[in-house]
Structure 1
Amino acid sequence: MKFGFIGTNWISDKLIENGNEVEGFEPYAVYSRTDERAHYYKEKHQLSEVFTDLEQFCKSPNFEAVYIASPNAFHYEQAELAIKNNKHVLIEKPATINQAQFEMLSKLAYEYNVTVMEAMKSTLLAPFVEFTNAHVDIGEIRYADFHYHQYSSRYDNYKNGIIENAFKPELGNGALMDLGVYTIAPIIHLFGMPNSVKANGFKLDTGTDGQGNAILDFHTFQATISYSKICDRVSPSEIIGENGYVLIDKISAPSNIKVFNKDGQLIKEFNGETTFTMKEEVIEFINCVEEKKVESSINTHKRTLDTIKVLDEIRKQIGVQFNV
């Protein structure tokens, strides 16, 4: 399957690196706003076509799928144009910056009968899938704590007065959208939609959030999520039940999930890929296209939409606005 790329950054590099491990994957074309950047990316990955006009890119008959890794604020309009040109679309998380936008993309996907999938890698990695399907019994769930803190090198520039895309709210970026989404999606995947959300956040001078946290209430238990681009945290995420607990090494890309009884004895362990952590999302996407499925049965449209609903509520409570 031939792929065209929107976004010539490190995440597109990673997708190509991982995709090259998958049979049937072929990086083919790239769109960039500048001819210089487009040709640089063509040479870097030995691509066949370059475009500086988005409409011409989407209308090209020479590739079937589009991977979108542009700033979050552009996802919707780029995906919409690709879908309307009968392209299958793999969109980096978060798929869109609000609920209404993804509702429209889902509707269009069914109208044009193309695959649309959010590139949420964590829920497709083997340890998470195996854990989810294992029906592990740790008793009644009473608490969960999922977190993703990663100090951004761009924050050093920010403190020196250089504002890069990562801290520009007009691009739909910030700690919640870039990192917090990784904590919310797996919670919804495991437990469904929370009954209520209470959020706090720390905003930078640009109006974007540097870090934040929220309590998601599920009546019989609470889940806390926290995220930051201005500090690190290396401890595992947790699910705690009355009869045991679960430790997840890295919620954004689980490679080791351990299940313990309440006495601290290891009773199950799930291990997986640590190098090519985006490979499974490529495989899932290609399989969906080949099976003529509009949406993944794992990274469903409903899961993506529910995640965005929670993102919208947190942004509303902490006062982050994207002006769209």
Structure 2
Amino acid sequence: MIRFGVIGTNWITERFINGASQLENFQLNAVYSRTEEKAIDFANKYEVQHTYTDLQEFAESDQIDAVYIASPTALHSEQAIICMHGGKHVIVEKPFASNEKEVQAMVDTAKQNNVTLMEAMKTTHTPNFQLIKDSLEKIGPVRRYVANFCQYSSRYDKYKQGEVLNAFKPELSNGSLMDIGVYCIYPMVALFGAPDRVKATAYMLESGVDGEGTVTVDYPSLNGVAMFSKITNSELPSEIQGEKGSIVIGKFSDMDDVKIVYKDGTEEALGATQNDNTMYYEANSFLETIEQGEMENPVNTWENSLATIRILDQARKEIGLEFPADRK
């Protein structure tokens, strides 16, 4: 049994817990929040006894083996490093951190303390993603990767009314690229590695972050396009285009509704039966990595995380998006 503590008391933490709780070796044992009231309320929901408002005390607790971090991106690196120095294995919500410098510091700390560190990008652990990866040769050679994830945020309505919530605050290293765009970019890196060139455009909000944008990349033999938004919706699928056909992905955030459309028009369904909560797969992979005594997950590798954050850094440079974290 691996005893977990969680940092962050929001909906995504609840979804992670609900997915991980399907695993026999997962046990939620502690909750950290900056406010005691929130920590206790969240802990009571899951019948957890141990709550903390002091991060150092939480990191050094003998009631915790591993930590799931779902705080604002600007806090990821510092919180992860403190927890790893406390001897805890750590899984951190995407994006891993604010910039490459922070990600590298996290990786270095994992090595120093011989603990597991993994970015919580769920899609690359789904059965359908593996099917996509295995099917590339059926459509190859691949010439274009198009990832589309545009999801109107309910927080944008409040933003337009004059209330800037966390999702649109640069001081928290947020915005469309970081919150949504990473879903498009990380799987591309997992499939094809680091690109040779990165370009980006975006619609910038007055708060200082991007509301929507597009990142284009070049590889030696293919081009990639990532379209993302927190201020519009899109009904368009994503696809990986090859000379023999295309892999079409209906719901990119879960790698759901997947098929191959060959150039002669024939179709082949690729969809595996997946857990309704796709965060189950990342939780299972993280736990397996801990049990195997490995510091680095074989799917969500440190190099994948570093390559992804480098793309995000370059894209931010292109659109003029700077975070306070960049000046530290």
Asked if TM exceeds 0.5, the reply is yes
State the 1:111 CA deviation.
Answer: 1.4
Paired residue type of 1:280 = Y
Q: Do residues 230 (structure 1) and 231 (structure 2) align?
A: yes
Distance 1:114 1:133 in 2: 30
Contact 1:255/1:272 (8 A) holds in 2:
no
1:54 alignment counterpart: 55
Paired residue for 2:32? Answer: 31
For residue 221 of structure 1, report the CA deviation from its aligned partner: 2.0
1:63-78 paired onto structure 2 within 5 Å: 63-78=64-79
Please tell me whether the aligned partners of residues 239 and 248 of structure 2 are also in contact (alpha carbons under 8 angstroms).
yes
Aligned equivalents of 1:101, 1:252: Cα separation in 2: 25
Asked if residue 97 in structure 1 is aligned to residue 98 in structure 2, the reply is yes
CA contact (8 A) 2:125 2:281 kept: yes
Q: 1:133: how far off?
A: 3.0
Cα distance in 2 between the residues matched to 1:36 and 1:91: 24
Q: Which residue does 2:258 correspond to in 1?
A: 257
Deviation per CA, 1:136-185: give whole Å up to 9, x if none.
32132222210110000000000001110000010011100000000000
2:209 aligned residue: 208
Q: Structure 2-normalised TM-score?
A: 0.96
C-alpha contact 2:67 2:90 (8 A) present in aligned 1 = yes
- Encode CA deviations 1:41-91: one digit per residue, 9 max, x unaligned: 111111120011111011101110000000000000000000001000000
Equivalent in the alignment of 2:293:
292
2:240 alignment partner, SS class? strand
Q: Is the 8 A contact 2:131 2:270 kept in 1?
A: no
CA offset at residue 274 of structure 1? 5.3
Alignment pair present for 1:241 and 2:247: no
Could you tell me which amino acid in structure 2 is paired with residue 3 of structure 1? F
Q: What's 1:116 paired with?
A: 117
Write out aligned runs for 1:122-141 (5 A). 122-141=123-142
What whole-Å deviation, never above 9, does each CA across 1:291-314 have from its counterpart, x for those lacking one?
Answer: 001011000000011000000000
1:21 and 2:55 correspond = no
Distance change (3 Å), C-alpha of 1:139 and 1:35: closer
Pairing 1:245-324 to 2, within 5 Å after superposition: 245-273=246-274, 275-324=276-325
Alpha-carbon distance between aligned partners in 1 of 2:122 and 2:232, rounded to the nearest angstrom:
23
Which whole-Å CA distance do the structure 2 matches of 1:76 and 1:135 have between them? Answer: 34
Aligned partner of residue 249 in structure 1, secondary structure:
strand
Asked if the contact 1:168–1:208 (Cα under 8 Å) also holds between the matched residues in 2, the reply is: yes
Inter-partner Cα distance in structure 2 for 1:185 and 1:146:
10
Q: How far apart, in 2, do the equivalents of 1:76 and 1:156 lie? A: 30
* Residue 166 (str. 1) matches residue 142 (str. 2): no
Give the number of aligned pairs: 324
Distance in 2 (alpha carbons) for counterparts of 1:267 and 1:249 = 14
Please give the alpha-carbon distance, in whole angstroms, between the structure 2 residues aligned to 1:183 and 1:208. 18
User: What CA RMSD, in Å, does the superposition of the two structures yield over aligned residues?
Assistant: 1.1
Separation in 2, partners of 1:144, 1:67: 31
- Cα deviation, residue 134, structure 1: 4.2
Q: Check whether the contact 2:99–2:313 (CA below 8 A) recurs between aligned residues.
A: yes
| Structure 2: gaps spanning 5 or more residues | none
8 Å contact from structure 1 (residues 125, 272) kept in 2: no
CA contact 1:236–1:248 (8 Å) conserved in 2? yes
Residues 1:155 and 2:160 aligned together: no
Letter in 2 for 1:10: W
Q: How many Å separate the matches in 2 of 1:260 and 1:136?
A: 14
CA deviation string 1:249-294 (max 9, x = no partner): 2222112321121012113513232511100111000000000010
Deviation at 1:227, TM superposition (A): 0.3
SS of residue in 1 equivalent to 2:254: coil
Amino acid across the alignment from 1:58 = A
Match of 1:181 in 2: 182
Can you give the 5+ residue segments of structure 1 that lack an aligned partner in the other structure?
Answer: none
Distance 1:87 1:190 in 2: 30
Whole-Å Cα distance in 2 between the matches of residues 117 and 143 of structure 1? 28
Q: What is the percent sequence identity of the aligned residues?
A: 41
Contact 2:216 2:226 in 1 (8 A): yes
Q: TM-score, normalised by structure 1?
A: 0.98
Kindly provide the CA deviation profile for residues 112-142 of structure 1, in whole angstroms up to 9, marking residues without a partner as x: 1100000000000001012213453213222
